[in-house]
A and B are shown apart, each in its own frame.
Chain A
């Protein structure tokens, strides 16, 4: 290996981008060593035809080099412990460290999924406690912890609804109604269970249109998927009537629980008339997002639907817990085991810490924070459907586009320069230039006030120097990236130094 002299240049702290791991290290270096084998020699040869031609080519680094590489990479990330993360619909609340400490306990983390119940009594008790708590929060009778994410919960929920109709011989119920403000996963989940989505247009106030609903239901209706409060942050106040209409037509109601953080202790999905709900433990119940997962998307259902949930089912008898395989029943399965148990334990820890009183206050403060922020932004950003918003609200950058020629994307990118993560943008699709803000309950009034100051400052910049926004961000490790080039000629794994420039 030749050693070319590479010029060294000073760089601003944090501004030096990372060399690829695959360009680092040197053959012969190592971090991990295997425990020595202290037993007899045995023949471990495998037939040549079963073997790979060459060892997998991985970089060779020492442990300090690996730690330094990932520590430097970590410095390039925004995260909750660094600053405000007001992503609408994502509920980026503080992730308590206690959750992590609990989930890492060897008594939980080292359990194998094929162990006997006798070795799992504490775990099964914990999971039953969580199921019971989620049922109390939602008002339902039964809970499955198997779905590994919200979209996975939607999928299982649709399977449950489909199974119930088939069980009653109602094979023709294959249409699922979905409001046009819904998350993209909703229609995708419906299609994958062999049913058909049908879009329902929202009314002028951003809520469900009852007349459109009445016209849409029929003998083909399997159900309806509703996010409540919806993606505009509005409670579907006609929900009881919606449920009456759908049930009268023979359909079932599915609630996307993405926005449950608005209504803990204030409203229960079962009382609204829903039959199934999924919860996002990584949103409402404070488990970390981990840069994209793992989360958990348990579903809760009515007593009638309990028998369509995955097996095994945790049962308790006089303080002894067992796993009932439900032999002879035909139940769905969407995960090799019982789902993201480690995430469930974090959520239980959070629920125990907050208690019933604390959970109710979570929603009160989340809604107070969002409303305070919405009110304070008046005059800076136009808020759509402002009346009655709960934990989040939708602003629009449409008037900035008109007045200053900057788009929502530009506003979002400029926020990054102020150390704030941008809100969700261009969603929901029904609002032009949407900016969706959800501050969550864990942010202080001072932080919200600063957000308002930042928006005011950016607005002044837009007026004075719109190019500053159009070319933002300016202080981040990289500037805007060429997404078109990335998609045209995908470079998806490291084959050598970048030739993408």
Chain B
């Protein structure tokens, strides 16, 4: 069962809304399927992104996947610690392995995301 305190996307990202800020990371399922994460490219703080926009990449030894912003708004923080230690994404994808935070512009975008139950069904959980 996936964590119920947050929302999900079909691209296997999670979004945790706290006030006007949305924290984004990849799911445990994604972290496992990807294998050893070796490098991340994250958006710069201050960038304004649209919902669904590709904002960075996540790399393993032999793959590169795009990272998308699940909601639109200004990027207000990125996790510098995972840039230095990408293995954190594998070890603790839901907490220490968060990737970036966006200031939510449009609350309704949160409603379009998958619930924990929907995501659980998506990954056949």
Determine direct contact between A and B, CB below 8 Å: yes
Q: Which residues of A contact B (CB under 8 A)?
A: 483-484, 487-488
The reply to whether the CB of B61 lies closer than 8 angstroms to some CB of chain A is yes
Q: List 16 A-B contacts (CB under 8 A).
A: A483-B36, A483-B61, A484-B36, A484-B38, A484-B60, A484-B61, A484-B87, A487-B38, A487-B39, A487-B59, A487-B61, A488-B38, A488-B39, A488-B85, A488-B86, A488-B87
CB-defined interface of B30-74 with A at 8 Å, one 1/0 digit per residue? 000000101100000000000000000001110000000000000
CB-defined interface of B10-43 with A at 8 Å, one 1/0 digit per residue? 0000000000000000000000000010110000
Q: Considering the complex, give the chain A residue whose CB is closest to the CB of B59.
A: A487
Give the CA-CA distance A487 to B62 in the complex, in Å: 10
What are the residues of chain B within 8 A of A488 when measuring CB–CB? Answer: 38-39, 85-87
Give the CA-CA distance A38 to B115 in the complex, in Å: 85
Besides the contacts A483-B36, A483-B61, what 13 more A-B pairs have beta carbons closer than 8 Å?
Answer: A484-B36, A484-B38, A484-B60, A484-B61, A484-B87, A487-B38, A487-B39, A487-B59, A487-B61, A488-B39, A488-B85, A488-B86, A488-B87
Give the CA-CA distance A291 to B68 in the complex, in Å: 39
Cβ of A487 to closest chain B Cβ, rounded Å: 4
What are the residues of chain B within 8 A of A483 when measuring CB–CB? Answer: 36, 61
Give the CA-CA distance A484 to B35 in the complex, in Å: 9
Give the CA-CA distance A487 to B60 in the complex, in Å: 8
Give the CA-CA distance A487 to B63 in the complex, in Å: 12
Cβ of B58 to closest chain A Cβ, rounded Å: 12
Give the CA-CA distance A488 to B36 in the complex, in Å: 9
What are the residues of chain A within 8 A of B36 when measuring CB–CB? Answer: 483-484
Give the CA-CA distance A487 to B64 in the complex, in Å: 13
Cβ of B79 to closest chain A Cβ, rounded Å: 15
Cβ of B102 to closest chain A Cβ, rounded Å: 26
Give chain A's interface secondary structure class. Answer: helix
Q: Which residues of B contact A (CB under 8 A)?
A: 36, 38-39, 59-61, 85-87
Give the CA-CA distance A487 to B39 in the complex, in Å: 8
Q: Considering the complex, give the chain B residue whose CB is closest to the CB of A482.
A: B36
Give the CA-CA distance A483 to B61 in the complex, in Å: 7
Give the CA-CA distance A488 to B89 in the complex, in Å: 12
What are the residues of chain B within 8 A of A484 when measuring CB–CB? Answer: 36, 38, 60-61, 87
Q: Which of B61, B86, B87 has the most CB of A within 10 A?
A: B61
Cβ of A354 to closest chain B Cβ, rounded Å: 38
What are the residues of chain B within 8 A of A487 when measuring CB–CB? Answer: 38-39, 59, 61
Give the CA-CA distance A308 to B39 in the complex, in Å: 42
Give the CA-CA distance A112 to B8 in the complex, in Å: 64
Q: Considering the complex, give the chain A residue whose CB is closest to the CB of B87.
A: A488
Give the CA-CA distance A484 to B63 in the complex, in Å: 12
Give the CA-CA distance A483 to B59 in the complex, in Å: 13
Give the CA-CA distance A483 to B37 in the complex, in Å: 11
Cβ of A412 to closest chain B Cβ, rounded Å: 14
What are the residues of chain A within 8 A of B87 when measuring CB–CB? Answer: 484, 488
Cβ of A178 to closest chain B Cβ, rounded Å: 19
Cβ of A483 to closest chain B Cβ, rounded Å: 5
What are the residues of chain A within 8 A of B38 when measuring CB–CB? Answer: 484, 487-488
Give the CA-CA distance A488 to B61 in the complex, in Å: 9
Give the CA-CA distance A484 to B61 in the complex, in Å: 6
Cβ of A488 to closest chain B Cβ, rounded Å: 5
Give the CA-CA distance A488 to B91 in the complex, in Å: 14
* Closest A-B pairs by Cβ, 7 of them: A484-B36, A487-B38, A483-B61, A488-B38, A484-B38, A487-B61, A488-B86
Give the CA-CA distance A409 to B64 in the complex, in Å: 20
Give the CA-CA distance A487 to B87 in the complex, in Å: 11
Give the CA-CA distance A483 to B39 in the complex, in Å: 12
Give the CA-CA distance A484 to B91 in the complex, in Å: 14
Give the CA-CA distance A488 to B39 in the complex, in Å: 6
Q: Considering the complex, give the chain A residue whose CB is closest to the CB of B85.
A: A488
Cβ of A30 to closest chain B Cβ, rounded Å: 41
Give the CA-CA distance A488 to B85 in the complex, in Å: 8
Q: Considering the complex, give the chain B residue whose CB is closest to the CB of A483.
A: B61
What are the residues of chain A within 8 A of B39 when measuring CB–CB? Answer: 487-488
Give the CA-CA distance A484 to B60 in the complex, in Å: 7
What are the residues of chain A within 8 A of B85 when measuring CB–CB? Answer: 488
Give the CA-CA distance A483 to B38 in the complex, in Å: 9
Cβ of B91 to closest chain A Cβ, rounded Å: 12
Q: Considering the complex, give the chain A residue whose CB is closest to the CB of B35.
A: A484
Cβ of B96 to closest chain A Cβ, rounded Å: 16
Give the CA-CA distance A487 to B86 in the complex, in Å: 10
Q: Which of B38, B85, B86 has the most CB of A within 10 A?
A: B38
Give the CA-CA distance A484 to B86 in the complex, in Å: 10
Q: Considering the complex, give the chain B residue whose CB is closest to the CB of A484.
A: B36
Cβ of A417 to closest chain B Cβ, rounded Å: 23
Give the CA-CA distance A387 to B15 in the complex, in Å: 50
Cβ of A372 to closest chain B Cβ, rounded Å: 33
Give the CA-CA distance A488 to B60 in the complex, in Å: 9
Give the CA-CA distance A133 to B2 in the complex, in Å: 65
Cβ of A335 to closest chain B Cβ, rounded Å: 30
Cβ of B41 to closest chain A Cβ, rounded Å: 14
Cβ of B31 to closest chain A Cβ, rounded Å: 13
